[in-house]
Structures are given as C-alpha cells and as structure tokens.
Amino acid sequence: MAQVVERPERYVGGGVPRKEDPELITGQAKYIDDINVQGMLWMAFVRSPFAHARINGVDAARANDMPGVVAVYSGADLADDWAGGLPCAWPIAGRSFPEPTTEDPRMPNHWPVAKDKACFAGDPVAVVVADSRAHAKDAAELVDVDYEPLDAVVDPERALDEGAPQIHEDLDSNEAYVWSMNNGDVDKVFSEAALVVKERYRHPRLIPNAMEPRGVLVVPAPAQEEYVLYSATQVPHILRTTLAMSLGIPESKLRVIAPDVGGGFGSKLNVYSEEAVGLALARKLNAPVKWIEERSENYLATIHGRGVIQDMEVAATEEGKILGVRVKLLADMGAYLQLVTPGIPILGAFLYHGVYDVQAYSFTCQSVFTNLTPTDAYRGAGRPEATYAIERIVDALARRVGRDPVEIRRMNFIAPFDQPREVASGLQFDSGNYGASLDKALDMVGYDLLRKDQAERRQRGDAKQLGIGLSTYIEMCGLAPSQVLAALKYGAGGWDAATIRCLPTGKVTVVTGTSPHGQGHVTSWSQIAADALGVPIEDVEVLHGDTAISPLGMDTYGSRSLSVGGIALHFAAEKIRDKVKKIAAHELEVSEEDLEWTDGKFQVRGAPDKAKTVADAAFSAWTAHSLPEGMEPGLEATFVFDPPNFTFPSGAHICAVEVDTETGLVDIVKYVAVDDCGNQINPVIVAGQVHGGIAQGIAEALYEEAVFDENGTLTTSHMGYYRVPSAAELPSFDIDSTVTPSSTNPMGVKGIGEAGTIAAPPAVVNAVIDALQPLGVNHIDMPVTPERVFSTIAEAKGGRQ
Amino acid sequence: MNGARLEAEVEPRQLLVYFLRDNLNLTGTTVGCDTTSCGACTILVDGKSVKSCTMLAVQADGTEVTTIEGMAKDGELHPLQRAFHDNHALQCGYCTPGMIMAAAGLIQRGGDMSEDDIRLGLEGNLCRCTGYHNIVKAIQQAAGEMKSSATV
C-alpha cells in the first residue's frame, strides 16, 4: 500500500523549485542535436542567395561526386513527394467585419523545396543527403543552381505599386488580404470630436533568436511504414496532423516527439520545409535523416516577427477623454504564408483601444507579400503591435491636451469589473482593475520623485535628461474558444487536454497536451495535480511532447497553456475525485453525502479516522476486488477543455531612462512592472516569464531589427550584426503583481508568457520621448539606437532653428 | 578531460565543441551560433572560460578541460548549479551550461562580483528566456558561497 508522505497544505501559489532543472543544470538534457541513431544521414539545404529568382536548372553533378554524398534533390525532383504544400492554418480572406467574408483567401503555393522560383533569400532550392554533417555541408556548396535574378519587392509600401514585381504567379497581385472591422459610428465620432491625434508607427522586423536553433530527425520503420519525427518544435500535435496531410502519410503512422526544446518564442510554432523534407527523404531512402539549423541559416529560414506599419488615430474631447480609435495597418507577410502568418495582425485587431473606455472602434489591415523571409508569430504576436500603438498615442494625446500621462490614463480607464464586460472592439474582457496595477507601479517607481529629478535636470539643461514612460497594457490569451476560432477562419480548435492516471502504488502520471519548452509546466502542473489529489508533489510525474504518449493536444503558444491546458488538468482532477469519492463511500459503507474532501482525502463527516486517500482508491480501482456495482476498474480520467472565452491579462509597466542628448545613448535607470495574470500557480515562474518578456521588449525598443538591403539581402545576417542584448545591456527589474481572477475559468488564471514583451516597448519609447521633450522631440521609431536618437535630436534642433 | 586523462586522435578541422559532443558524447555543451556570439558552448580550458566553437580540438592538446558534466563532484552539485536552481536562473536551459561555465571562469578570475561586474563579465553569453535578472542573482549567491567556503 502507499506510504503516507508529509505534504504542505498547498503547493499552488508557492514558489516551488522547478522539477525541470536537475537535467538542465548538469548537461543531461536531450535537445534535438543530442539525439543520434545508427545509420543516420545528414541533410544540408542549398538556399537561394537571391530574394527573387527564377530557377532554370539545378546541376548536382559536382555535389554527387563528393565523399559521403548519398543523394541530391532539387525541388523538381521532389515534386511528386508532396500530397500538398506546406500548411497555412489561418487563411484570412478579404472581409469587412461583421459582413460575411467577401473573397476566397489568397494562398500561394508553398512547396517545401522551391521548384520554379525562389521567393526570398534563404528559400530552399535543393537538399543534399550525406553520411555526415560536414560532408553534407561541403557538397551543398557545390550544387550548381542556374538562377535568373528578378527584381524583388523589399519594401511592403511598394508591394502594390503599379509595375511592382509579381511574387506569386498563381495570384494576381502581391496583396494577401484586406480585413476590417467597425464598431460604432466611427466616422461621426471622428468628424465631430474636438481633436484627433494621428501618428504613424513602424515595428521593425524581428528575429526570434531562440537560443537553440531548429532541428529535425526522422527515424523510419520501413516494414511498418511508420515514422518517428523528432523536432525542436512547440507544436508536436499540429506538426503530426499537418505533415501527415502534406506528405500523404496516415496520421496513425506518424509519431512526433518534441524532445527538450531550447526556447521558441513563436519561432517553433510552425511547420517548416525542413521537417517536411526530412520526412519525405526518410520515406524515400528508408533511412534516418537529420538536419540541424545553423544560426546564420536560422536568420534566413526561420520566421521573423512584427514588420508592421500603423496609421493610428484617436478622437478625443478637449480634456483628453478618448472617444474613438481608428487604425490602419500595413502588414508584411514575407514571401509565403507560414502556419499562422495571416492571422498575426488579427490577434491584435481587437486590442487597439487597450484598457480605455471608448465608443467607436475601427480596424483595417492590409497584408502584402514581399520577397523577404516569411513573418509569423513572435512572442506577443499582434498584441505588442496593438499595445504599442495605443500606449504611444495616449502619451501623444496627453502632450496635446497638456496632461500628465498618468492622469490621461486614469481618466480613460475602463472601470474595475470582475465579470465579462463587452468592450468597443466587441470582445468580452474577463475581468480587470487597471488603475490598481498603475497605482502600485507608480508607488514602486517613486513617480513624484522622478518627476522632480526630471524637472531639475530640465531646468539645469543637463546633457543627460530623464524620461519616464508608462505602458498600461492589455493582452488576449488563452487561445482559444473553438467557435471564435471558427469565426476567424482558423483551421483548428482551441481546446486542450489533460489525462491523470493514478497508479496502483499511489503515484500519479499527468499527461498534458501542452508542449513546454522552458515555461516550467512540469512543475506548475505538478503543483495543480498534487493539490487537487492530495498527494506529495514528488509523486506526480508530468509527461508531454510525444504524440504517442499524449495523443490529444493543441500545444504551447499564445500564453494558452495554463488557461486552457491547466484548466483541463483541473477538470480531470475533479473527475478523479468524483470516482475516488464513490470508491470511498463504497468501502467505508457510507453515502457519498457523508464524505467531505479534507486534508487530501475523503473522510466521513465527524469521524476523521474513517478516510480514504486517492492512493487508497487507486489501489482498490486496480485490484478491482470490490468496486461499486458497474464501476470500471482503474483510476484514470481525461478532460478536454474548450475555453468559453479568452483571458485578458493586463498590467502597468513604468520605465525611467536617462538619455544622453550629446551621444544619443539611452540608459534604463529603473524598470518597474506590475502585472495582473489573475491567480498565480507559481509566482517564481511567473516572475521569470515577466523578466524574460521585458528583456525581449526592451530589445525590440532599443536594439533589434532585421535589416535588408535594396536587393532583399539580410544584412543583419548573424548574431554579430543582429543585436540580441546581453546582461551588460539590461538592468535588473523591479516587479510585483496585482491579482484580478479571470472569470473565464475556475482557477481564475490568465497567462503570463507574453506580458513583458507586450508591455515593454511603449514604456521604453515613451520614456525616451518624454526625456527629449525639452528638445521638441515627439516621435522616434524603434529600435531607438543612439544613432537614431542623435539624428532625431539634430532634426528637432534644425526644425526649431 | 573533466579530471581524467584522455587521449584521442582528431581531424585537423574539428572544432573543440564538436569533439566534445560528437566524439566524447558530452552533449551538455550546446551550440547556439556560428559566430562565437552566443556563448552557449562555453567551457573551461585551464580554468579560463573559452567558447569551444572558437577553438580547434587539436588546440586543447595538453590542457585541462572542464565541461558542465565535470562540475558536480561526488554527487554534490557545484555551488553555481545549485544557485541557478535556487534562483530560477534558467528556463529552457539551452544557454545554461555555457552560462554556468562562464560564471565559473568569472569567479575564478577573482575581483569584485558586484551586479555590474557580473553583467559585464557575462557579455559574451546570451540568454533569451530569463532577461538575466535571476542569472545575476544566482551568480552573486554562488560567488558569495564559494568565497566564504574558500576562506574557511
């Protein structure tokens, strides 16, 4: 029988040290490149150096003669290996919301290896298979491709010009879609408002830079026509379903395993060429094949994020009360539609009014193809863009009406609420108390003292000016109610699953459909299960990331894991407890009503010595010697949770910067964050997510940008040129939280994975603009490099002279 | 090699990191870039932190090499490993071995271990998950422990 182990009253809410760590700190983790099998072949891809080029021929003669080479395939050679192209699961059609869809989605063919044309620098045009990594790479350099370079579309603003190069010949223009929505009488509100503020914001293209590059290993079992595909992916379940379709392999014959995965940030939320080719070649050659991405290759071949231009407007009263929000986006899809490329701007479409109470709302997005690396989800995906636009323009409005940024926000906040509330974009926010987070953040940052310091520096005319930037953000997480996804034309559901298996020895196996890659689900899920079942946390094992072990799941992205997958676990535990209660009542010979769940067991009211634990019931359910009439043996439950609504985490970030007006250097002197993700399962993990998110947000604001030359060649082509900040560039963060439980789910949780990345950019940029107020600077684009600050100051001075 | 004597023949062009990973199966040392920018492959060579993607295996002839696998002694975690765990200084873990080895080199070098010193000292090691906040805390904790145990 199970032993009795001491356990604390409650794990949830405590900073339980991570169960994931021991293997990671000792070098025993198994990432994709740590997995090797006998007889494994290596793939190396030949990639187009041109952003746009016709492929007139591929000559593999020299490559084939190289040592160790097994085969070389061009796109034409592999044409018959595909049942379909690479998938786009979110085809957005032209639409004037809420009118019905007006056109079919415009979906260009996307073959895993380009056949006739390369559409971006990095597009695979051939693949070499050899007996070692080095042999494959050496031979790839000797594949002779006859390219006919074509003019390239590099600037999204030029994509629809008359005479612009046509990227996809199966489409009639470079437009992907125009999608709009309108709530309230927007034109009337704008024409009658006392004032309208209009600004244009640019979001640079960003390179996600998960520290582990991508990789894939496919191991075939030829006799059974089965395949095991290992991939550094966030989405093993989606990968299995979509690759089965693209390759025409029965889904039941394909097992996908996400081993330890070294970060994703959206960049591994995709179905990539190399995964499809790996599977195709394992089938063709009846041998295991592996590919590991190099970093410079990653910069070309893994999706980029952002790449959006926004024309943002607010209509307001003379006092600064916002009446309406109208925004038009131009979104750069890049060369192809990857898994959810078209949907990214739509993830932000409902959030451009932020946490402010407005009457009228209009959003339009025009999306275009360019000859650049495809864009897709990067941490925040659509929501950093929305937050940046509204938080920047609220500050601009404050300047216009002569009010403090704090005052203008307080004046416009949606009042606190704890039940679903419809907002201007048509969404139902779950709960919120925006003033509370702001008040706490102001207190932590010492707002009044900072303003005093700022005033003194301004008066003295210091070279180093102080700026304070606010960001009171909202995001939309918990992707997603399946019916809403259907309305948005997403090609899958938004549910997730959990299974709890109580073993006869009292140990518990939890299987989750989420696929963590750094977020600590093993620890958090253990906390939830241990509390719900009254077992020590050490007795809970959490399994994930293998479609054979966890067949049901929708994986990890969009801060959805806890608020969907975690809730599935909560309900699975309820099912287990229901069964335990029946077994306990039967064995204790009392009615179920006489039992209460106390201290991790069902005990008879008034007779605490008569009790049954989950472990007791698990053993009884296993022996099945004396179960209630008609009960199935075994103690196992699965729950699939489809959320009734999204969740809406929010918070207030305040950044104080010192800007050297002589050199343009920006130094963050203080960064305070108060986030509200509802109830927290593990506050230490929550804090870690916030820290990392802020760092990525600061990186976007100050350092990072994927830069292309006029031919579409990536000039920030490796880590030496693209500036991922190190510890030396970043400050420590002062963080805290408020707790406004979500009304969407019984645990009251909201999600925290993307908050920092969403909140930070406007806080930082607003701070820089605030610092430069005495110089008359009201606008600067990201990344706010010293050079850009310097030239902006020079322009402002020139303008004033 | 991690305290034991090792003799091996290597290809002239083989980088040290691939010798460790492919020949010795010491896969704790990871590869994150191809330009010596990320520091994921940091190890100790004669007590100094070195990016093992920047050194040929043959250059390690006659040196004392320590990787993450050689940090724990007799089943006891190294103070840095413990401190990383205690302070939630890792998430996906991919940069962690390199980060721990870089920190070991930094501590070994001596000198002050203020927050600024640590941040500057880690300039060559990138992490995309943690924002470095807890990494800095962990290194401060470990440096303090190692200093006090050294003076005992």
Q: What are phi and psi of B50, to 5 degrees?
A: -140, 140
**Triad A437, A443, A445: Cα angle to 5°:** 100
Give how far B1 is from chain A: nearest CA, Å: 15
Q: Within a domain: residue A659?
A: yes
Q: Within a domain: residue A281?
A: yes
Which CA distances in Å does B53 have to A26, A82, A193, B13, B101? 20, 37, 61, 12, 14
Q: Rounded mean pLDDT of B95-102?
A: 98
Which CA distances in Å does A673 have to A202, A670, A690? 24, 10, 8
Nearest to A647 by CA among A593, A532, A566, A704: A566
Q: Rounded mean pLDDT of B33-42?
A: 96
**Triad A365, A367, A370: Cα angle to 5°:** 155
Q: Within a domain: residue A279?
A: yes
Residues of chain A by 3-state class (helix, strand, coil), percent to 5: 30, 25, 40
Examine the domain organization and report whether A741 and A720 are in the same domain.
Answer: yes
Q: Judge whether B93 and B81 are in contact, CB under 8 Å.
A: no
Confidence bin at A258 (pLDDT 50/70/90):
very high
Confidence bin at B59 (pLDDT 50/70/90):
very high
**Across the interface, do B93 and A29 touch by the CB < 8 Å criterion?**
yes
CB atoms under 10 Å from CB of A492, counted, come to 17
Q: Judge whether A465 and A661 are in contact, CB under 8 Å.
A: yes
Examine the domain organization and report whether A586 and A538 are in the same domain.
Answer: yes
The rounded distance, in Å, linking the Cα atoms of A141 and A60 is 10
Confidence bin at A1 (pLDDT 50/70/90):
very low
pLDDT computed for residue A683 by the predictor = 98
**Across the interface, do B77 and A26 touch by the CB < 8 Å criterion?**
yes
Examine the domain organization and report whether A628 and A681 are in the same domain.
Answer: no
Q: Judge whether A528 and A573 are in contact, CB under 8 Å.
A: yes
The rounded distance, in Å, linking the Cα atoms of A574 and A587 is 20
Confidence bin at A99 (pLDDT 50/70/90):
low
pLDDT computed for residue A93 by the predictor = 81
CATH at residue A575: 3.30.365.10
* Token output for A426: 């048509």
Which CA distances in Å does A374 have to A18, A107, A243, A718? 35, 13, 19, 17
* Token output for A323: 């009446």
Q: Judge whether A60 and A125 are in contact, CB under 8 Å.
A: no
Confidence bin at A102 (pLDDT 50/70/90):
low
Q: Rounded mean pLDDT of A580-586?
A: 98
Q: Within a domain: residue A219?
A: yes
* Token output for A132: 């070692």
Which residue in A20, A24, A295 has the most chain B C-beta atoms within 10 A of its own C-beta, making it the best mutation to test that interface? Answer: A24
pLDDT computed for residue A343 by the predictor = 96
- Torsion angle defined by CA atoms of residues A531, A532, A538 and A544, in that order, rounded to the nearest 10 degrees: -130
Which residue in B68, B129, B135 has the most chain A C-beta atoms within 10 A of its own C-beta, making it the best mutation to test that interface? Answer: B129
In tens, the pLDDT along A401-421 reads 999 999 999 999 999 999 999
Q: What are phi and psi of A132, to 5 degrees?
A: -150, 165
Confidence bin at A488 (pLDDT 50/70/90):
confident
A103: pLDDT strictly greater than 80: no
* Contacting residues of B for A727, CB less than 8 Å apart: 118-120, 122-123, 125, 127, 132, 135-136
Q: Judge whether A4 and A97 are in contact, CB under 8 Å.
A: no
- Count how many residues are written for chain B: 152
Examine the domain organization and report whether A792 and A757 are in the same domain.
Answer: yes
> Residue A463 in 3-state DSSP?
coil
Give how far A726 is from chain B: nearest CA, Å: 5
Burial class (CB in 10 A: 0-12, 13-18, 19+), A15: middle
The rounded distance, in Å, linking the Cα atoms of B85 and B73 is 17
Tell me what the pLDDT averaged over chain A comes to.
Answer: 96
Which CA distances in Å does A706 have to A50, A385, A694? 17, 17, 20
Which CA distances in Å does A347 have to A184, A475, A490? 20, 9, 11
Nearest to A382 by CA among A272, A480, A307, A301: A307
**Across the interface, do B130 and A691 touch by the CB < 8 Å criterion?**
yes
The rounded distance, in Å, linking the Cα atoms of A547 and A232 is 14
Examine the domain organization and report whether A651 and A626 are in the same domain.
Answer: no
Last residue of a domain, one of A285, A301, A317: A301
Q: Which domains does chain B have, with CATH numbers?
A: 16-70 (3.10.20.30), 79-149 (1.10.150.120)
Q: Rounded mean pLDDT of A731-744?
A: 97
Exposure class string for A241-251: b at 16+ Cβ within 10 A, else e: bbbbebbebee
Better-scored residue on pLDDT, A174 or A7: A174
Exposure class string for A309-331: b at 16+ Cβ within 10 A, else e: bbebbbbbeeebbbbbbbbbbbb
Positive or negative torsion for Cα A435, A438, A442, A448: negative
pLDDT computed for residue B65 by the predictor = 98
Q: Judge whether A280 and A33 are in contact, CB under 8 Å.
A: no
Percent of chain A residues topping a pLDDT of 70: 98
The rounded distance, in Å, linking the Cα atoms of A732 and A648 is 26
Q: Within a domain: residue A186?
A: no
In tens, the pLDDT along B74-85 reads 999 999 999 999
Q: Name the closest residue on chain A to residue B93, using Cα atoms.
A: A24
Q: How many domains does chain A have?
A: 3
Q: Within a domain: residue A147?
A: yes
**Across the interface, do B85 and A20 touch by the CB < 8 Å criterion?**
no
A5: pLDDT strictly greater than 70: no
**Across the interface, do A692 and B131 touch by the CB < 8 Å criterion?**
yes
pLDDT computed for residue B151 by the predictor = 54
Predicted model pTM: 0.97
List Cβ neighbours of A211 (8 Å cut-off, separation of 6 or more): A262, A263, B30, B32, B38, B40, B92, B94, B95, B126, B127, B128, B129
Examine the domain organization and report whether A635 and A658 are in the same domain.
Answer: no
CATH at residue A47: 3.90.1170.50
List Cβ neighbours of B68 (8 Å cut-off, separation of 6 or more): A25, A26, A27, B28, B29, B43, B96, B97, B100, B101
* Token output for A92: 């957005």
A100: pLDDT strictly greater than 80: no
**Across the interface, do B30 and A33 touch by the CB < 8 Å criterion?**
yes
The rounded distance, in Å, linking the Cα atoms of A635 and A617 is 8
pLDDT computed for residue A670 by the predictor = 98
pLDDT computed for residue B149 by the predictor = 80
Q: DSSP string of A393-426?
A: HHHHHHHHHT--HHHHHHHHBPPPBSS-EE-TTS
Q: Within a domain: residue A723?
A: yes
Q: Judge whether A42 and A130 are in contact, CB under 8 Å.
A: yes
The rounded distance, in Å, linking the Cα atoms of A86 and A683 is 39
List Cβ neighbours of B150 (8 Å cut-off, separation of 6 or more): none
Q: Rounded mean pLDDT of A766-795?
A: 97
pLDDT computed for residue A97 by the predictor = 56
Give how far B72 is from chain A: nearest CA, Å: 8
Burial class (CB in 10 A: 0-12, 13-18, 19+), A17: middle
pLDDT computed for residue A801 by the predictor = 46
Q: Within a domain: residue A418?
A: no
> Residue B122 in 3-state DSSP?
coil
pLDDT computed for residue A489 by the predictor = 87
Examine the domain organization and report whether A559 and A446 are in the same domain.
Answer: no
Examine the domain organization and report whether A579 and A685 are in the same domain.
Answer: no
Last residue of a domain, one of A590, A622, A641: A641
In tens, the pLDDT along A276-296 reads 999 999 999 999 999 999 999
pLDDT computed for residue A372 by the predictor = 98
Exposure class string for B5-36: b at 16+ Cβ within 10 A, else e: eeeeebeeeebbbbbbbbebebbbbbbbbbee
Confidence bin at A95 (pLDDT 50/70/90):
low
In tens, the pLDDT along A124-148 reads 999 999 999 999 999 999 999 999 9
**Across the interface, do B93 and A684 touch by the CB < 8 Å criterion?**
no
Helices (H), A83-150: 133-140
Q: Rounded mean pLDDT of B49-68?
A: 98
In tens, the pLDDT along A545-574 reads 999 999 999 999 999 999 999 999 999 999
B152: pLDDT strictly greater than 50: no
Amino acid at A319: E
Q: Rounded mean pLDDT of A200-208?
A: 98
pLDDT computed for residue A60 by the predictor = 98
Nearest to A86 by CA among A63, A113, A55, A123: A113
> Residue A309 in 3-state DSSP?
strand
**Across the interface, do B92 and A211 touch by the CB < 8 Å criterion?**
yes
Q: DSSP string of A223-283?
A: GGTEEEEEES-S-HHHHHHHHHHHHT--GGGEEEE--B----TTTTSS--HHHHHHHHHHH
**Across the interface, do B68 and A27 touch by the CB < 8 Å criterion?**
yes
Examine the domain organization and report whether A134 and A277 are in the same domain.
Answer: yes
Examine the domain organization and report whether A667 and A578 are in the same domain.
Answer: no
Last residue of a domain, one of A578, A609, A641: A641
In tens, the pLDDT along A497-529 reads 999 999 999 999 999 999 999 999 999 999 999
* Contacting residues of A for B53, CB less than 8 Å apart: none
**E strands, B23-120, in order:** 42-45, 48-51, 65-66
Using CB atoms, which residue from B37, B77, B135 is nearest to A719? B37
Burial class (CB in 10 A: 0-12, 13-18, 19+), A710: exposed
Q: Rounded mean pLDDT of A392-399?
A: 98
Domain that holds residue A509: 21-28+495-641
* Contacting residues of A for B133, CB less than 8 Å apart: 691, 695, 732-733
A719: pLDDT strictly greater than 80: yes
In tens, the pLDDT along A47-78 reads 999 999 999 999 999 999 999 999 999 999 99
Residues of chain B by 3-state class (helix, strand, coil), percent to 5: 40, 10, 50
pLDDT computed for residue A6 by the predictor = 63
Examine the domain organization and report whether A682 and A627 are in the same domain.
Answer: no
Examine the domain organization and report whether A565 and A712 are in the same domain.
Answer: no
DSSP classification of residue A452: H
Q: Rounded mean pLDDT of A9-36?
A: 97
The rounded distance, in Å, linking the Cα atoms of A346 and A89 is 14
pLDDT computed for residue A65 by the predictor = 98
Q: Judge whether B106 and B99 are in contact, CB under 8 Å.
A: no
